[in-house]
Amino acid sequence: MKRKSLLILTLAFLGLLTLTQCLNSEDPRPTEATKTTELNISPAFDWSLTSEIELSVIGIPGAIDNRKTLVVQSEGSVYFKELYNINQNITRIIRIPATVENVLVTYGDYSKSFSTAGGKIVLNFIPELPEE
């Protein structure tokens, strides 16, 4: 009886050991850092919480000198504001919180929403008429 119990215990221990080794070999987990100073961070990471958008505005050639305020905003937060003449082409860099996914560009009564993915926005005031 004693020998049988010992055998069962030994088998159970060996089984547990094998299982643990299996888990370890299939799911290697890095040691979780418990301190910031133990983190392993990419040298390219800039620790910035903002992102950059390049805004290109294509104006209308020959348009009258008509200046209004070009505004880039999101949910009431204004990131850019400049007096813009609709016959000009301009490129501006705008900085927004990295969490902002869409911005609204307004110019007088005109407005258009843009995704910030890709970091570039092209606002073309020249319409595209259907082919005739």
Partner 1 sequence: MKEQVFKIVSVTFIFSLILFSGGSVLSQVTLDCESGDRNIDAGNCWAFGGVAYRSNTQDPGLIISGLYSARTPQLTSNSPSSAWVKTPWLKAQNGNILFKTRLSGGPGTSRNLAVYYANYEPDSPSSSKEGEFIEFYSFTFPNPINGNTTVYEISIPVPEILVNTQDVYKIRISFMGSGGSGRAYIDDLVFPCTYWADPPVCLPLELITDADGDGVSDQEDEYPNDPYRCYNLYEPAADFGTIAFEDLWPSFGDSDFNDLILDYKLNFVTNASGQLVEMKNKFVVRAIGASLKNGFGFTLTGVPPNAVLRTQGDILTQGIIAKNANGVESNQSQATFIVIDNAFAKLPATGGGFTGANTIPAAPYVTPDTIFFNITFMEQGVPAPGGAVIYSDLIVNPKYYNPFIFTNQIRGKEIHMADYPPTDLADQSFFSTYDDDSRPGEGKLYKSKNNIPWAMILVEKFDYPVEQADIIQSHLKFKDWAETSGASFQDWFKDKPGYRNNEKIYKK
Q: How far is the CB of 36 from partner 1 (least distance, A)?
A: 4
Distance CA 94, CA 111 (A): 17
Q: How far is the CB of 5 from partner 1 (least distance, A)?
A: 46
* Residue of 59, 58, 63, 53 whose CA lies nearest to 121: 53
Measured CA distances, 5 to 36, 46, 111, 118 (Å): 49, 61, 80, 66
Q: How far is the CB of 115 from partner 1 (least distance, A)?
A: 15
Q: Which of 81, 89, 102, 122 binds partner 1 (CB under 8 A)?
A: 81
Contact 38, 32 (CB under 8 A): no
For partner 1, the closer of residues 86 and 121 by Cβ is: 86
125 contacts partner 1 (rule: CB under 8 A): yes
28 contacts partner 1 (rule: CB under 8 A): no
Rg (CA), the chain: 30
Q: How far is the CB of 44 from partner 1 (least distance, A)?
A: 7
Distance CA 38, CA 131 (A): 61
Interacting residue ranges for partner 1, rule: CB under 8 A:
33-50, 52, 60-69, 73, 76-83, 86, 92-99, 107-110, 125-129, 131-132
